[in-house]
Amino acid sequence: MKKIIFVAGARPNFMKIAPLLRALKHSAAVRPVIVHTGQHYDTNMSAAFFSDLDINQPHYNLEVGSGTHAEQTAAIMTRFEKVCLAEKPAMVVVVGDVNSTIAAGLVAKKCGVCLAHVEAGLRSRDLAMPEEINRMATDAITDLFFTTEPEAKRNLLAEGHADAKIHFVGNVMIDNLLYQLDKVKKRPSSGTAKTIKKLLPAKYLCLTLHRPSNVDNRETFTGIVTALAKASASAPIVFPCHPRTRAKIAAFGLSGKFIESGKTDRKLTSGICLLGPLGYNDFLYLWKDAAAVVTDSGGLQEETTALTIPCITIRNNTERPITVSAGSNVLAGIDPGRIMALIEKVLAGTWKKSSVPKLWDGKASERIAKILIKN
Ligand code: UD1
């Protein structure tokens, strides 16, 4: 039986390994070993995802926690090397573009283990993004590439990788989304998300923001929040907030621009309602019915595209261009006027109907599983 290590570390990784593990659950050919690096560790950033997404508890939790990029990457490498040497896997599978992805990839390759990268080949061409460095460096040493959109293959070929190693399989994020959507429809959320939804009108927006380029600079972050606060006069905005963003709201004295979710039971007809981070299903329960999602996340650009929900992305570029050509995603940058104009367009109902990209059909993991078994 072939032993394959699946590595996940940060919030967006968990939904990518979940469908892969499901696809291999009954395989007699592969024995999966799950390694959680511990890059994310708060319950709602980590454990909640394991239970929501039906992932077995990890065989290893490296518990690296937070730190500078060098500290975090180095800690993952040192601890993951011990696992690789002990387990002697036939293959290591990494997903996405977080620090855990490149750290585990480097270790696997230097231990002489075949490295597979799920969501390979995406490029924003913005080297100020730590994720872009992680993507490029991971793909430089990857043996088996799994891609989500045609542009990714073009990028990999242009970087000199062999066609035979690149497999256009579709999008595992969407496998997970469709699986969870079904669950959420059958068994709706019971916690904070349900309480908040009861207070919302038919037209509301969901917001996520956590990218250092948006939230670490006082002027930029204040500009974005001010624009959103104005726009929220027309429709309320629900904002499950990443811990790093929560810290910046306090540091920049912006708390007055938000309504704390715990402190309101009145109908939310306007304003930005601030929540702690939510588990996957709780957040899905909220955004699946939103008029639009405003975000700087990579994954949500894809998930909104799959459900043809308008997505206003607070970035100047995207490594996921198919979400823009499909028509669901628009890059708003950080210009307050543009952000407001796009929100108005959504609320006026003039956003054009979008399409769903090829192979975003919920079966990407099955395609990957077949290739993993064969290689
Ligand atoms: C990481 C990824 C980013 C991804 C994001 C999703 C990298 C380079 N970045 O960014 O691509 O979109 O995850 O969330 O890998 N913190 C907590 N609790 C946690 C985790 C983090 O409080 O469970 C706080 C800590 O103050 C920490 C900060 O968030 O220092 C940043 O965490 P980190 O893992 O370094 O990066 P993210 O911003 O989460």
Q: Which domains does the chain have, with CATH numbers?
A: 2-171+360-374 (3.40.50.2000), 190-348 (3.40.50.2000)
Question: Is residue 191 scored above 90 in pLDDT?
Answer: no
How far, in Å, from the CA of 40 to the mean position of ligand 1? 6
Residues flanking ligand 1, CB < 6 Å? 10-12, 39-42, 45-46, 66, 98-99, 130-131, 210, 242-244
Q: What is the mean pLDDT of residues 129-150?
A: 98
Model confidence at 266: pLDDT above 90: no
Residue ranges with strand state E in 57-108 = 60-61, 91-95
The residue contributing the CA closest to ligand 1 atom 16 is 243
CB 93 within 8 A of CB 118: yes
Bridging pattern class, strands 258-260 and 292-295: unpaired
pLDDT mean over 197-221: 96
> Which pTM value belongs to this model?
0.96
The angle formed by the CA atoms of residues 16, 279 and 292, to the nearest 5 degrees, is: 85
pLDDT recorded at residue 261:
83
Amino acid at 143: D
- The pLDDT of residue 190 is 75
CB 238 within 8 Å of CB 205: yes
210 carries an active-site annotation: yes
- Nearest atom in ligand 1 to 67's CA: 30
Q: What is the mean pLDDT of the chain?
A: 96
Contact 36, 62 (CB under 8 A): yes
